[in-house]
Chains A and B, each alone.
Chain A
Amino acid sequence: MDQGNKDHAALAERFNEDEPRVNWHDETLWWVRAKRDKAAHTLPEWEQLREAASQIKNNVLSNLSEYLLQFEEKAKANGVVVHWAADAKDHNEIVYALLQQNGISRIVKSKSMLTEECHLNDYLQQQGIEVIDTDLGERIVQLANEPPSHIVLPCIHKKKEEIGELFHEHLGTPAGNADPKFLANAARLNLREKFLTRRAAMTGVNFAVAETGEFVVCTNEGNADMGAHLADVHIACMGIEKIVPQRNHLSVFLRLLARSATGQPVTTYSSHFKKPRKGQQMHIVLVDNGRSVQLGRADFRNSLKCIRCGACMNTCPVYRRSGGHSYHTAIAGPIGSILAPNLDMRKYADLPFASTLCGSCSNVCPVKIDIHDQLYKWRQVLVKEGYAPAAKKIAMQGMTFTLSNPGVYQFAGKAGRWIMDKIPFIVNNKLNPWYKQREMPEPPKQSFGEWYKKNRKDNL
């Protein structure tokens, strides 16, 4: 989907042209947030669970190289082939080589944000490989030739009528039928044929256990399992940060993940893949793609604790009113805004500013990532690295001068208020983004400082 070089603010403005649709998007996601709250409140130990999850992930980050080696050793002993990919290109080439070796040109893939991050679909299609996304939401956006707009709810931006139309065009469903049950069943029938005929299946990984070499994939639809258990070749791709030390640590994460994501007590399937089934190949691709760099940034490393639940998106008042595509990166929302600049500061310099720093994201985060504090810190880094617009820089320097000098401040304040009082049209015009949809404050006759000087002389 071509979004040009527009930044978040411009894309969000476009999204806001259709206000009823913004309301619908906001309310749908708020409803998911409310389900999350309800689920969290059923567990009195919720905050302790978050703390435990956070501590486990902190431990993982501090021992990651050892855990990766342990995981590799165990996985190999289990009969799984382990691959290492330094970056997206490496990852894509490894996957393609595996398909080539097996003479496979058509695959099914269940949800993996990592493959979105690596733009695997585009790459494979260029090599002549057909990729079918099997998660219903991902299939829908794939048919629409769009990226997912949400990591858990990929087509949350689409109305059922639009989906009905897509299915009519691509799956031959009757025109005008937009019943979710009917459409989901049509997709079920269509995709079942794909599961039964494709010889390779790709999945993501939610958690990988260092102690046992197994990995866990969570879905509600059962698409990861349908793909993996029918295919001759199972390729699972994971970011290196997905490791947990021990199997019993899964208890903490599986209790938190679905409750945070959708308000379910657990996903329908939590599948633990340890060994390939008889006659099957199982591959794991361990992907870095900037993660080891992020690990070295003390202020930002704990973004790697993320378990991709999407709670920060659902609660984010900006995400709900700007849509996932306005973030122009694979992972939208607050967490995406602290992950993306690590990959490309110039391209994603706008994202840490697409927030009011309200802090709701940090409060819902099941692994206690200080998301809004990191947004603040990214702003400092981006400005220092020279990614601030020139006009903003000049404005900030002017403001600094005024606010650092009480005399100048008092004079400027008077002048500013005088302008607002006498010739309001200078300030109240369309060029002033405040005034476009809001009135300016009514300027008072005197500042508090002036009032105090007159009325509380004795105190000065």
Chain B
Amino acid sequence: MNSREKILSAVKNNQPAQNILPELQSFLKPDTKVLEKYINVLTAIGGLAHVVNSYAEIDNIIGQEYKEAQRIISLSKELPMPGRAEKYADPHELETVDLAIINAQFGVAENAAVWVTDDMLPQRVLPFITQQLAVIIKRTDIVPTMHYAYERIGNADYGFGVFIAGPSKTADIEQSLVLGAHGPKTMRVFIL
């Protein structure tokens, strides 16, 4: 018997009688203060939030805040930057990116995460390898909790999807919080 059969038969023999799944509908509780909550949580986890009314405003903030960024990749059609490209054949080409500006499908108020899938990225590694990350979401695309988030994702077919909540961080040295572990050192979210 190979390992697969061995494991499956042992599991089948040893698993207990059927336990039913709980319903999760009761966790869907609407919340009207999602924007306020999103901003508060993002700030608390080391991210930066800007409520903006136009792409011009975003462009303006980017110009001010990332003066030292040499290589910027913008995935927003409304914010054309010199570094924009549809695809990179090799993810290693993104090694030197200083700032990536990406779109996210939606944000989650309870934890300030944004949901990004690989069809929106030239390479999956982009939001991780970039030194700084800027994300654009629409004000109307903030859901209250993770229950709503997965309602929204539904059975979408992606190759890779990720919730990103704030800059990469570590507290492994004596529980001292350090922003910028292996991924971006900052995360700025523009709420349009």
**CB–CB under 8 A between A and B in the complex?**
yes
Contact of A68 with B by CB under 8 A: yes
- CB neighbours of B15 from chain A (8 A): 61-65, 295
Considering the complex, give the chain A residue whose CB is closest to the CB of B23.
Answer: A52
Cβ of A137 to closest chain B Cβ, rounded Å: 4
- CB neighbours of A273 from chain B (8 A): 160
| Assembly CA distance A181 to B7 (angstroms) | 45
Contact A52 B165 (CB under 8 A): no
Contact with A along B9-31 (1 / 0, CB 8 A): 01111111111111010110100
**Residue from B21, B91, B166 having most chain A Cβ neighbours under 10 A:** B21
Q: Which of B10, B157, B158, B171 contacts A292 (CB under 8 A)?
A: B10
Contact with A along B98-137 (1 / 0, CB 8 A): 0000000000101111000010000111001100000000
Selecting from B48-56, B62-70, B77-85, B173-181, the interface stretch reads: B173-181
Contact of B170 with A by CB under 8 A: yes
Q: A184-B181, A229-B128 are in contact. Are A64 and B11 (CB under 8 A)?
A: yes
In residues 192-247 of chain A, which contact B (Cβ within 8 Å)? Answer: 192, 195-196, 212, 220-223, 225-226, 229-230, 240, 245, 247
- CB neighbours of A229 from chain B (8 A): 91, 123-125, 128-129
- CB neighbours of B161 from chain A (8 A): 271-272, 274
- CB neighbours of B26 from chain A (8 A): 48
- CB neighbours of A254 from chain B (8 A): 146, 163
Cβ of A238 to closest chain B Cβ, rounded Å: 12
Contact with B along A20-59 (1 / 0, CB 8 A): 0000000010011000000000000100110110011011
| Assembly CA distance A262 to B170 (angstroms) | 11
Considering the complex, give the chain B residue whose CB is closest to the CB of A289.
Answer: B7
- CB neighbours of A158 from chain B (8 A): 174
- CB neighbours of A154 from chain B (8 A): 172
Selecting from A82-90, A341-349, A412-420, the interface stretch reads: A82-90
Cβ of B148 to closest chain A Cβ, rounded Å: 8
Contact of A76 with B by CB under 8 A: no
- CB neighbours of A195 from chain B (8 A): 182
Considering the complex, give the chain A residue whose CB is closest to the CB of B168.
Answer: A222
Q: Which of B8, B29, B45, B181 contacts A136 (CB under 8 A)?
A: B181
Contact B7 A292 (CB under 8 A): yes
Contact B124 A225 (CB under 8 A): yes
Q: A221-B183, A229-B123, A240-B7 are in contact. Are A255 and B19 (CB under 8 A)?
A: no
Contact B171 A262 (CB under 8 A): yes
| Assembly CA distance A140 to B174 (angstroms) | 12
| Assembly CA distance A297 to B20 (angstroms) | 20
Considering the complex, give the chain A residue whose CB is closest to the CB of B176.
Answer: A180
Contact B162 A265 (CB under 8 A): no
- CB neighbours of B123 from chain A (8 A): 229, 277
Contact of A339 with B by CB under 8 A: no
Cβ of B22 to closest chain A Cβ, rounded Å: 4
**Residue from B15, B124, B145, B175 having most chain A Cβ neighbours under 10 A:** B15
| Assembly CA distance A110 to B85 (angstroms) | 30
Cβ of B86 to closest chain A Cβ, rounded Å: 13
Contact of B169 with A by CB under 8 A: yes
Contact B22 A52 (CB under 8 A): yes
In residues 109-148 of chain A, which contact B (Cβ within 8 Å)? Answer: 134-137, 140
Cβ of A126 to closest chain B Cβ, rounded Å: 22
Interface extent on B, as a size class?
35 or more
Contact of B192 with A by CB under 8 A: no
Q: Which of B21, B95, B160, B166 contacts A268 (CB under 8 A)?
A: B166
A-side binding surface: helix, strand, loop or mixed? helix
Contact of A459 with B by CB under 8 A: no
- CB neighbours of A266 from chain B (8 A): 108, 111, 113, 146, 163, 165
Cβ of B11 to closest chain A Cβ, rounded Å: 4
- CB neighbours of B146 from chain A (8 A): 250-252, 254-255, 266
Contact A28 B8 (CB under 8 A): no
Contact B164 A268 (CB under 8 A): yes
Contact of B33 with A by CB under 8 A: no
Contact with B along A261-294 (1 / 0, CB 8 A): 0101111111111111100000000101000110
| Assembly CA distance A265 to B113 (angstroms) | 9
| Assembly CA distance A254 to B8 (angstroms) | 28
| Assembly CA distance A191 to B182 (angstroms) | 8
Contact A51 B22 (CB under 8 A): yes
Contact B160 A274 (CB under 8 A): yes
Contact B19 A293 (CB under 8 A): no
- CB neighbours of A276 from chain B (8 A): 159
- CB neighbours of A188 from chain B (8 A): 180-182
Contact of A437 with B by CB under 8 A: no
Considering the complex, give the chain A residue whose CB is closest to the CB of B124.
Answer: A229
Cβ of B123 to closest chain A Cβ, rounded Å: 7
Considering the complex, give the chain A residue whose CB is closest to the CB of B174.
Answer: A160
| Assembly CA distance A268 to B123 (angstroms) | 19
| Assembly CA distance A252 to B146 (angstroms) | 8
Contact A277 B118 (CB under 8 A): yes
Considering the complex, give the chain A residue whose CB is closest to the CB of B17.
Answer: A62
| Assembly CA distance A321 to B104 (angstroms) | 44
Contact A153 B173 (CB under 8 A): no
| Assembly CA distance A90 to B6 (angstroms) | 12
A-B contact pairs, 7 of them (CB 8 A): A31-B175, A62-B19, A65-B11, A136-B170, A184-B178, A220-B168, A265-B45
Please give the residue numbers on chain A whose beta carbons come within 8 Å of chain B beta carbons, in ascending order. 28, 31-32, 45, 48-49, 51-52, 55-56, 58-59, 61-65, 68-69, 84-86, 90, 134-137, 140, 153-156, 158-160, 163, 180-181, 183-185, 188, 191-192, 195-196, 212, 220-223, 225-226, 229-230, 240, 245, 247-252, 254-255, 262, 264-277, 286, 288, 292-293, 295-296, 298, 301
Instruction: Add 12 more A-B contacts to A230-B92, A292-B14 (CB < 8 A).
Output: A56-B21, A59-B21, A62-B19, A136-B170, A192-B182, A225-B128, A229-B123, A268-B169, A270-B165, A272-B161, A286-B7, A293-B14
